[in-house]
Amino acid sequence: MGESSITPEWFPGILYELARAGHVEQAVSLSDARGGRTIDIPSLERLSESNALVRMVGIAAARVICERWGGTRQYVPLRGGVGSKMRNILAHPGGTAECARDLQTSEQWVRRVRNQGGLRRWRPGDGEASGPALSLTRG
C-alpha cells in the first residue's frame, strides 16, 4: 500500500494515526478485530504484553495509540473499502439466523436492519456502534 493511500478516508479515526506512524498492517488488523466497536485504551504506564490491544497490534503500534488516547475508550471504525454491517446484512442472501451467524451479529439486529431496509441512521442505543470517547478514569 503506497503513501498516497494512507488517507483519513481509507483509514478513519484511530486507524489513521496508526497508518501514518508506519503501522499500516496493524491498522488493518485493529479494524478487522474491533471495527465498528469500542476498545479500552490503557494508559502508557499500564501497557503490557498481556493487554488485548498489544495482542491485536503489537507493542510498538500499541504505544502509538496509548500516547494519544491512553486511559480512554475509543471507537474503532471500519477501514475504507470494508462494507458496513448494515449493507452486508441487506446484501446477504440467507435467512436471519444464517446471516447473523455469517456476519457475527445478533438475529435481532439482522431483523431490525432488514425490516427498516437500512434507511434509518444509527442512533445511540440501537446497538452495533458506540458514541464518543469516554474517560476510563474517574476524577
For residue 89 the three cell numbers come to: 446484512
Is 110 part of a structural domain of the chain? yes
Any domain includes 53: yes
The C-alpha atoms of residue 99 and residue 123 are separated, in whole angstroms, by 22
The pLDDT of residue 114: 86
Q: How far apart are CA 111 and CA 128, in angstroms?
A: 13
pTM value is: 0.57
Cβ atoms 105, 86 nearer than 8 A: no
Q: Is residue 126 part of a domain?
A: no
pLDDT computed for residue 86 by the predictor:
77
Grid cell locating 128? 452495533
What per-residue confidence (pLDDT) applies to 136? 47
Q: Are residues 68 and 7 in the same domain?
A: yes
Q: At residue 32, does pLDDT exceed 90?
A: no
* Per-residue model confidence as pLDDT tens digits over 79-122: 776 556 777 788 888 999 999 888 888 898 888 888 887 555 54
Range of the structural domain that residue 96 is part of = 85-116
Considering the domain architecture, whether residues 12 and 70 belong to the same structural domain is answered as yes
27 and 91 both lie in a single domain? no
Task: Quickly state the pLDDT bin for 4 (edges 50, 70, 90).
Answer: low
Per-residue pLDDT reduced to its tens digit, 46-63? 999 999 999 999 999 999
61 lies in some domain: yes
Whether residue 137 is contained in a domain is answered as: no
Average pLDDT over residues 9-24: 90
Of 55, 59, 57, residue with least CA distance to 44: 59
CA pair distance 116, 133, nearest whole angstrom? 28
Considering the domain architecture, whether residues 62 and 22 belong to the same structural domain is answered as yes
- Number of domain units in the chain: 2
What number is the average pLDDT over the span 70-75?
92
Rounded Cα distance between 59 and 104, Å, is 28
- Count CA atoms closer than 13 A to 29's CA, side-chain side: 14
Which parts of 27-93 are beta strand (E)?
A: 37-41, 72-76
Answer with the residue of higher pLDDT: 40 or 126.
40
pLDDT at 81: 63
Provide the CA 68 distance to its chain's centre, in angstroms: 17
Is 35 domain-assigned? yes
